[in-house]
Structure 1
């Protein structure tokens, strides 16, 4: 008996029509040409790209379709792999341009001006079992299990208005430390797109956040706030984002090395919490204090911000701290807006559970 699962072809026409409509509505081929996609002869690019895009919504890859004898592609696997390995296509720019078209031409008109839209940054583990043959695979720290694993961290930037979430860009992060890189490495012309992506992969996560944000702002994407959790929350990062005209709402890391200026003194968040009187009763927050973020000598500027301490719902004896650079909104609004950061976690869960982007499907 064959161990291959049955492949249902009844939904093939529906998938093809949906992909074709999406390509036409958002002018996908025009965007790809702006990102370096060229083909002078042979199989039309439309056919190749629509097949690859539709494969995400099928239950198996091109290899498995050919093995079962039910491949719907009108071209060989060599054509498929040559397209996927094309070094001239800037896929990062493509996803940013596509997200800009979806957000600005469709979602912005449905979103009230009073609603707070946000950029969200977060990463997740992208583990690889065949890491020794995977280029730049490294030992990376998994924030969930608090252990080192083999693979990459996938840094993702998204946009949300609280109702809709759109992924804008993503970058696989290896390790800056060569000793942690356990996969293969290649020498590539530093002027090419491929070399730039590899340099980004071995950069610090906080630097990649700024790079992705700059590219999104350059094509016309806007938001009122930028949000991230404690792993990217440091004064230098907050000052850099504020200098780009954006406000930050983030969770503060409880570190003795990260300090803020409070009442004329440099103090970390634990010292600030212990030095102030807490609110009693059923208040949504325990403490709210204004601080100054950044050191002019190190960060180039110093900005005003507000730290709001909230009781941890999973541990009533513990507390978490949020920081916001928008001094015009109150504490309840800061807490409410930060709750939208959870949208990116739902996106990660959807990609891994329903689209299987972390296990079966590797057509990145």
Structure 2
């Protein structure tokens, strides 16, 4: 969240819901991309996102369309996955390198995963239990059905429950690891990766880097 609750005339000001509290605020969504080695976090790019549906103010029509300021305003009206692809392209063009793109369940969807994979990067991300479908032996399974089809894991790491290799509906091969929910012991969470060479322990360990960044920020 990037709150501007006292503002009235800020360009592209919009109304958003804070999903942590359920309250609404005026401002923007701030999307940040950074690089981390597990110890240090370096911000590489960011964007303030507005909304066409819940906009309070529009864009200044007099702004010069040749300027970077205009481009930033145009970017603010794009969807977050579209902006993420632009961020990745800018980072790669500037010489940044990485082994994985880590992201939470807001972004772990097949179209964005495909865009990232096409740039030679692997994805590790939390999977939201929604209407996604995974392909297993010609059948399309929901995440809950995929959990039932997955094999139990024997691991020294407590909390790792099951794993399965499957495909997204778009045909991208992935490995999904199921872990016990930390605060809701009767529930589970799912983490997906496009790197099929990783062990279940490594999938969870690497994704933990993103979790640490999110908590500390």
Q: What TM-score comes out, normalization by structure 2 length? A: 0.92
> Which of 311, 326, 331 is the equivalent residue of 2:180?
311
Corresponding position of 1:265: 139
SS at the partner of 1:131?
coil
- Whether the 8 Å CA contact 2:2–2:27 is kept in 1: the answer is yes
Corresponding position of 1:97: none
Corresponding position of 1:292: 167
Unaligned runs of 5+ in 1: 1-124, 296-301, 349-364
Structure 2 CA distance for partners of 1:266 and 1:194, relative to 1, 3 Å: same
Task: Return the index of the structure with the highest Cα Rg.
Answer: 1
Corresponding position of 1:181: 55
Instruction: Measure how far apart 1:280 and its partner are.
Output: 7.4
Say yes or no: does 1:138 pair with 2:28.
Answer: no
Higher percent of residues as strand: 2
> Which of 326, 331, 352 is the equivalent residue of 2:195?
326
Matches within 5 A, 1:102-121: none
SS at the partner of 2:98?
coil
Instruction: Measure how far apart 1:276 and its partner are.
Output: 3.9
Instruction: Measure how far apart 1:146 and its partner are.
Output: 3.4
Unaligned runs of 5+ in 2: none
Matches within 5 A, 1:67-146: 125-146=1-22
Structure 2 CA distance for partners of 1:249 and 1:191, relative to 1, 3 Å: same
The structure 1 segments of at least 4 consecutive aligned residues displaced by more than 3 Å after TM superposition are: 275-284
Aligned residues: 215
Higher percent of residues as helix: 1
Instruction: Measure how far apart 1:345 and its partner are.
Output: 2.3
Corresponding position of 1:21: none
SS at the partner of 1:172?
strand
More moved, 260-269 vs 167-176? 260-269
Deviations 1:1-43 (A, max 9, x none): xxxxxxxxxxxxxxxxxxxxxxxxxxxxxxxxxxxxxxxxxxx
Structure 2 CA distance for partners of 1:319 and 1:289, relative to 1, 3 Å: same
CA distance in 2, matches of 1:319, 1:148: 29
CA distance in 1, matches of 2:193, 2:166: 10
More moved, 280-289 vs 238-247? 280-289
Corresponding position of 1:199: 74
Say yes or no: does 1:254 pair with 2:129.
Answer: yes
CA distance in 1, matches of 2:26, 2:108: 25
CA distance in 1, matches of 2:176, 2:58: 44
SS at the partner of 2:106?
helix
Structure 2 CA distance for partners of 1:279 and 1:132, relative to 1, 3 Å: same
- Whether the 8 Å CA contact 2:151–2:164 is kept in 1: the answer is no
- Whether the 8 Å CA contact 2:101–2:124 is kept in 1: the answer is yes
SS at the partner of 2:124?
strand
CA distance in 2, matches of 1:176, 1:207: 15
CA distance in 2, matches of 1:127, 1:306: 37
CA distance in 1, matches of 2:41, 2:187: 30
Corresponding position of 1:241: 116
Corresponding position of 1:122: none
